[in-house]
Amino acid sequence: MTERLDGTVALVTGASSGIGEATARVLAAQGAAVVVAARRKGRLDALVADIGAAGGTALAVEADVTDRAQATALVERTVAELGRLDTLVNNAGVMLLGPIVDAPIEEWDRMVALNVQGLLACAHAALPHLLAAAEDSPRRVADMVNISSVAGRVPRLGSGVYNLTKHGVGAFSESLRQEVTKRHVRVSLVEPGAVDTELASHVREEVQGAMRKRFADVERMQAEDIADAITYIVTRPRRVAINEVLIRPTEQEG
C-alpha cells in the first residue's frame, strides 16, 4: 500500500543531524525532492551531496527557524526553487532538561522559541502551500508531521518546560488536524522516546548524570527508526491519516 513520493517536495527542519537527517534521506529515497534546513550549513551540504550520490534530489537552506522571517523565507524559497510543498516535517527541537527551581531561564526561552514558536512559524508559512498541494497534486493529499515526544504525553519531574513545549505541540497539532483534514492536509504527531542523537548533549552537565542513570539499561532507538515511522505516515494512501505515533525503545518503561 506504500505510495512513493515521486514528484512531491518535502521540507525537513533540523535536518543537520539526528532524526531530521535520517528522515531527509528516506524521503529522498522515496522520490521526494527534499529541502533540508538547519543552522549548520556545512552539514546540510554534506547531506545534500550524499542524497545526490544516492540518486536523490535535495537542497540545503541555512535557516534559524526561531527567527520568524527566516522561517517564512525558508518556506518561500522551497516553493520558489522546487515549485511546490507537499510535506513539512516540523522536526527542529531542543531539550534542555533540569529542575524548574533555579533553572537558567534562558534555557526555557530557547525551548519555547524553537519547539513552539519555530514550529508555529514553519506551520503558518507552509499551510497555504500544503492546502494548495492537497488540491492540485497528483496524490491530492499533503502532510504536516510535527515531532513531539513521549514528553508531550507524560510530564516528569525534571523536564517541566520541555514537557510544556511538547504538550503544546500535541494540542496544536490536534486542533489543526480537525481544521484541515477535510481538505486533505493530514496533520500527524510523532512522539519518540529515547533516540540516540545529539539532543541530550545540550543538557547541562549536572543534569546529564540523572539522564544517564534513567537510560542506563535501555537500548535507545536509532534516528532511522523514527524516520521509518515518518515515512510510513507520509506514504499512506489519501484515505488514511496516521494521526499519532507514540514510539518508545522496547526497554523504556515510562
Query: Which of 119, 162, 187, 193 is the catalytic position?
Result: 162
The residue range among 52-60, 77-85, 88-96, 124-132 that interacts with ligand NAP, by the rule CB under 6 A, is 88-96
- For 181, the grid coordinates are 483534514
d(CA 101, CA 118): 26
Nearest residue (CB) to ligand NAP, 8 versus 13: 13
d(CA 206, CA 203): 8
Map the footprint of ligand NAP across residues 96-125, applying CB under 6 A.
Answer: 114
Question: Which of 76, 135, 179, 198 touches ligand NAP by CB under 6 A?
Answer: 198
DSSP secondary structure code for residue 118 in this structure: I
- Answer yes or no whether residue 30 interacts with ligand NAP by CB under 6 A: no
Task: Give the alpha-carbon dihedral of 194, 224, 42, 115, to 10 degrees.
Answer: -40
- For 198, the grid coordinates are 545529539
CB of 139 to ligand NAP, least distance (A): 26
- Answer yes or no whether residue 24 interacts with ligand NAP by CB under 6 A: no
CB 6, CB 27: distance < 8 Å: no
Give 188's strand partners.
145
- The dihedrals phi and psi of 208, each to the nearest 5 degrees, come to -55, -35
Question: Which of 12, 14, 26, 30 touches ligand NAP by CB under 6 A?
Answer: 14
Give catalytic status of residue 232 as yes or no.
Answer: no
- Answer yes or no whether residue 225 interacts with ligand NAP by CB under 6 A: no
CB 41, CB 95: distance < 8 Å: no
| Site map (CB under 6 A) of ligand NAP, residues 158-197, x = contact | ----------------------------------x-xx-x
- Answer yes or no whether residue 16 interacts with ligand NAP by CB under 6 A: yes
CA angle 80, 67, 107 (to 5 degrees): 145
- Answer yes or no whether residue 38 interacts with ligand NAP by CB under 6 A: yes
Question: Which of 9, 18, 24, 145 touches ligand NAP by CB under 6 A?
Answer: 18
CB 242, CB 208: distance < 8 Å: no
Indicate which residues carry an active-site annotation: 162
Binding residues for ligand NAP, per CB under 6 A? 13-20, 38-40, 63-66, 91-95, 114, 147, 149, 192, 194-195, 197-199, 223
